[in-house]
Amino acid sequence: MQFERKDILDMESLSAEEITFILDTADQLKEISRRPVKKVPTLRGKTVVLFFYEPSTRTRSSFEIASKRLSADSISISSSSSSMVKGETLLDTARNLEAMNPDVIVIRHYSAGAPHMLARLLKTSIINAGDGMHAHPTQALLDLMTVREKKGSIKGLRIAIMGDISHSRVARSDSIGFIKMGADVVIAGPPTMIPKGIESLGVTVAGNADEAVKGADVIIMLRIQKERQKSFLYPSDREYSKVFGLNPERLKKADKKVLIMHPGPINRGVEISSEVADGPYSIILDQVTNGVSVRMALLFIVAGGVRNVDVD
């Protein structure tokens, strides 16, 4: 399969065949991170700009590591250190960056659609590293990679996604991705955190946490995004933990080989107990490891032009 694409913006615009190609490429590139010298010349001479308007630990550092492992030059810009603080618009900032001829701009922005706007108006490749409450395609792809790696296949799995669904770009992108790859997705959370019409994505809404967890092959826990909530949507952390948190007792209802995932950052003792987060079913750190490989694959696809994978 040939897969060349200028931008990676969301999961809607990727076909199941393209997702499989990205995951296969990431699988091949993963080996580089296990070498004593973790570097190949594949993107030598290419420039990647990391443009983050929201805080990030995992996404930003893994894009930076991914760029370095492929020998691309990368620079990092945050909103507080850019001329945004002097009133420059996003588009003007991006056009000025483009004038320096980078090959890829990786952007995280608090406004839904910001990466899509830049992709329309700039010639430079754009990768969406999370836009508002809309999409986080690179997180969904690393989640798909991690589940496929652990289970062998995604088709037919029961994936439970629990927590603050309405503020979660991960919930949206994961739901779209897992359904495209043939899984059944069930979501659960406080009614105040379930968006109206979410069923249109193809997910089932469970009545409560126990119903969602029952027989689940994979459970993806999400944190409550207090920073995006305009009012209190649940009585207290303690109450939330009791009703929707994942603890060893609730976990017993899942499949015996269940995988526990979380995009991070986790709030221990709120949506997930430490026993579960650090327990034998947790693959939370595997997700982080695979984040580097998926982001290497995406940089390779948009900046390298994939004809065949040559990583020697």
**Nearest partner of 112 among 192, 27, 53, judged by Cα:** 53
> Per the structure block, which two tokens stand in for 30?
């993963």
- Cα 231 to Cα 131, 167, 183: the distances in Å are 21, 13, 34
Any contact of residue 175 with ligand CP (CB under 6 A)? Answer: no
Any contact of residue 177 with ligand CP (CB under 6 A)? Answer: no
Contact letters for ligand CP, residues 130-169 (x by CB under 6 A): x--------x------------------------------
Our CB check for ligand CP shows the closer of 163 and 263 to be 263
Contact letters for ligand CP, residues 230-269 (x by CB under 6 A): ---------------------------------xx-----
**Nearest partner of 281 among 163, 146, 144, judged by Cα:** 146
Count of chain residues binding ligand CP (CB under 6 A)? 9
Tell me which residues in 54-73 interact with ligand CP (CB under 6 A).
Answer: 56-60
> Per the structure block, which two tokens stand in for 28?
């091949």
* Residue 101: CB minimum distance to ligand CP, A: 27
DSSP letter string, 137-174: HHHHHHHHHHHHHHHS--TT-EEEEES--TT-HHHHHH
Any contact of residue 42 with ligand CP (CB under 6 A)? Answer: no
* Residue 287: CB minimum distance to ligand CP, A: 8
Q: Is the dihedral of CA 67, 69, 73, 75 positive or negative?
A: positive
* Residue 99: CB minimum distance to ligand CP, A: 28
Any contact of residue 89 with ligand CP (CB under 6 A)? Answer: no
User: Terminus-to-terminus CA distance in the chain, angstroms?
Assistant: 21
* Residue 264: CB minimum distance to ligand CP, A: 5
Any contact of residue 113 with ligand CP (CB under 6 A)? Answer: no
Contact letters for ligand CP, residues 205-224 (x by CB under 6 A): --------------------
For 52, the enclosing helix (H) or strand (E) is strand 47-52
∠ Cα 3 66 61 (to 5°) = 130
Q: Which residues bind ligand CP (CB under 6 A)?
A: 56-60, 130, 139, 263-264
